[in-house]
Amino acid sequence: MRTNYNLYYDRAIPGMREGSINFPRVSTYSAKKGAVKEVWTITIPASPTASTTYSVTLNNGLGTARYKTDASPTQAELQTGILNAIRTNPAFGTRGIAEVSSTNVIFTALNFGGENLLASASLTVAKTTAAVIPAAVPFGRFVARAVGETDPGVAGLPAATTDVVLGITHIVHDIEMTPSRFTGVSGLGTTYSVPDTMDVVDRTGESAGIWVECVESDITINDSVYVSVASGHKGKATKVSSGTIDVSNKAAFRHPPVVSSTGTLSVLIGFNVP
């Protein structure tokens, strides 16, 4: 768990824990829920032309991978030749990973958000999967894992009522202070971006709880806790039961909503999973 300076700040800052009876239990997850890397497909012809140079160009000439067929070429030969030509070209190696897919070659961006442009006068090349970068996850929001997600280390803002809530994002000092290196102003870093490692509180224990952004201003400690999946409010606490995720069996409101010095509406929540 990274350093949290909860005793030095205003109360009701999203992601700030309240009280110092004990430390919360914190798990770590990668903020990659819903993220997709860009993929290009290079189609290998069934009957390559003999003694012909086939090539693929990256980003308007940043790098070119070439392979010349022999006198009796096969589809498998050309596929292997193009695959190895891409893999051994440093320009391609810093931008993506080449792999075999059926009779074709696919080129997957190395990083989330990485965009490439592949072109060829001798082969059919097409972007078959566009990059998807989900919104950054703010401090003080519930995060969840999508049903069907096979990576237990991935989490993000809940987007469906079937998502499994894992905990609440904890404010961390290193991200919070990052902008000060460039602007001289602290307190501007308030989110986890893809693919940051998030500190997620999944057990507040005997402490007063953790401050979580909320939708309504009239929440009381007697209301049940639900998690919003609505656009603009994903991961916020709400008292509305319809179209939300029910976490009332492991969460409780501990204090009515408060507007922080940053203008954010937050509510104190105790949250405990086994």
User: Concatenated DSSP letters for 106-135?
Assistant: EEEESSTT----EE-SSSEEEEEE--B-PP
**Which domain does 77 fall in, by range?**
39-129
pLDDT of residue 17: 86
Mean of all residue pLDDT scores within the chain = 89
In this structure, the answer to whether residues 28 and 56 fall within a common structural domain is no
In this structure, the answer to whether residues 19 and 66 fall within a common structural domain is no
Task: Locate 219 and state its tokens.
Answer: 């929440």
Last residue of a domain, one of 82, 111, 129: 129
Mean pLDDT value of segment 44-73: 95
In this structure, the answer to whether residues 258 and 166 fall within a common structural domain is yes
Q: Which residue has the higher pLDDT, 176 or 115?
A: 115
In this prediction, residue 21 has a pLDDT band, given cuts at 50, 70 and 90, of low
Last residue of a domain, one of 106, 129, 152: 129
pLDDT of residue 8: 46
Give the percent of the chain with pLDDT over 70.
89
pTM assigned to the model: 0.83
Last residue of a domain, one of 109, 129, 149: 129
pLDDT of residue 229: 98
Question: Is position 159 within any domain?
Answer: yes
In this prediction, residue 11 has a pLDDT band, given cuts at 50, 70 and 90, of low
- Measured distance CA(28)–CA(153) in Å, rounded: 7
In this structure, the answer to whether residues 105 and 143 fall within a common structural domain is no
In this structure, the answer to whether residues 251 and 166 fall within a common structural domain is yes
Question: Is position 1 within any domain?
Answer: no
Q: How many domains does the chain have?
A: 2
